Structure 1
Amino acid sequence: MTEEALGTFLDAFYAKVRRDDVIGPIFAARIADEDWPRHLATIQDFWSSVLLKTGRYKGNPFGKHVAIEEIGLQHFERWLKLFGETAIETFTPDIAETLAERAHRIGDSLKAGLFFRAEMLQPAGPR
Structure 2
Amino acid sequence: MPDLCTEEEVRYLVHTFYAKVHEDADLAPIFNAHVKDWDAHLAKMVDFWSSTLRGTARYRGTPMPKHAQLPKLNPDLFKRWLELFHRTTHTLDNARMRERADMLAPRIAESLWYGYQMYNDPANLPGRLEP
Aligned-residue CA RMSD in angstroms?
1.5
Name the counterpart of 1:103: 105
* Residue 13 in structure 1 maps to residue 6 in structure 2: no
Structure holding more helix per residue: 1
**TM-score normalised by the chain length of structure 2:** 0.82
* Gapped regions of structure 2 (runs ≥ 5): 126-131
Equivalent-residue separation in structure 2 for 1:111 and 1:53 (angstroms): 24
User: 2:89, 2:102 within 8 Å by CA — same for their partners in 1?
Assistant: yes
* Gapped regions of structure 1 (runs ≥ 5): 121-127
- Letter of the structure 1 residue corresponding to residue 84 of structure 2: L
Equivalent-residue separation in structure 1 for 2:50 and 2:12 (angstroms): 13
- Report the alpha carbon displacement of residue 73 of structure 1 after superposing the two structures with TM: 0.9
Identity of aligned residues (%): 39
Counterpart of 1:71 in 2: which secondary structure? coil
* Residue 90 in structure 1 maps to residue 103 in structure 2: no
Q: How do 1:66-81 residues align onto structure 2 when only pairs under 5 Å count?
A: 66-81=68-83
Counterpart of 2:60 in 1: which secondary structure? coil
User: Given the alignment, which residue of 50, 54, 74 partners 2:52?
Assistant: 50
Bigger relative contact order, structure 1 or 2 (CA pairs below 8 A, ≥6 apart):
2
**Between Structure 1 and Structure 2, whose CA radius of gyration is higher?**
1
Equivalent-residue separation in structure 1 for 2:124 and 2:18 (angstroms): 36
**TM-score normalised by the chain length of structure 1:** 0.85
